[in-house]
């Protein structure tokens, strides 16, 4: 096993510490778990950034919904 150092903002460090405690893991164990799940499916990490990536590749053929923005991002406000 290799060791690395990572600097985290205070808020993220606090959230990781709380989550690790609830899961009864060390913070290192939690980080390894998160990295392993992201490495097995990189789209999983990216789908949290852009909702469009959640549906990438599911459409077959030339037609897309006229209401795709509403489906992805919720009702649009005028």
- Express each pLDDT in 33-70 by its tens digit: 888 877 776 666 555 556 666 666 666 555 566 666 66
pTM, rounded to two decimals = 0.49
Element (H, E) at 44: helix 42-47
Interatomic CA distance for residues 59 and 56, integer angstroms:
7
Tell me if 32 sits within 8 A of 40, measured CB to CB: no
In this predicted structure, what is the pLDDT of residue 77? 57
Closest CA to 67 of 18, 55, 57: 55
Supply the mean pLDDT for the chain: 75
In this predicted structure, what is the pLDDT of residue 17? 92
- Does pLDDT of 28 surpass 60? yes
Interatomic CA distance for residues 51 and 25, integer angstroms:
30
| Other beta carbons within 10 Å of 46 | 14
């Amino acid at each position: 096993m290799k060791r690395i150092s990572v600097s985290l903002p205070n808020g993220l460090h606090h959230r990781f510490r709380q989550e690790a405690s609830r899961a009864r893991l060390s913070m290192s164990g939690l980080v390894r778990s998160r990295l392993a799940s992201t490495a097995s499916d990189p789209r999983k990490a990216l789908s949290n950034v852009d909702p469009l990536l959640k549906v990438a590749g599911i459409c077959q053929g030339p037609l897309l919904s006229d209401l795709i923005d509403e489906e992805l991002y919720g009702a649009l406000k005028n």
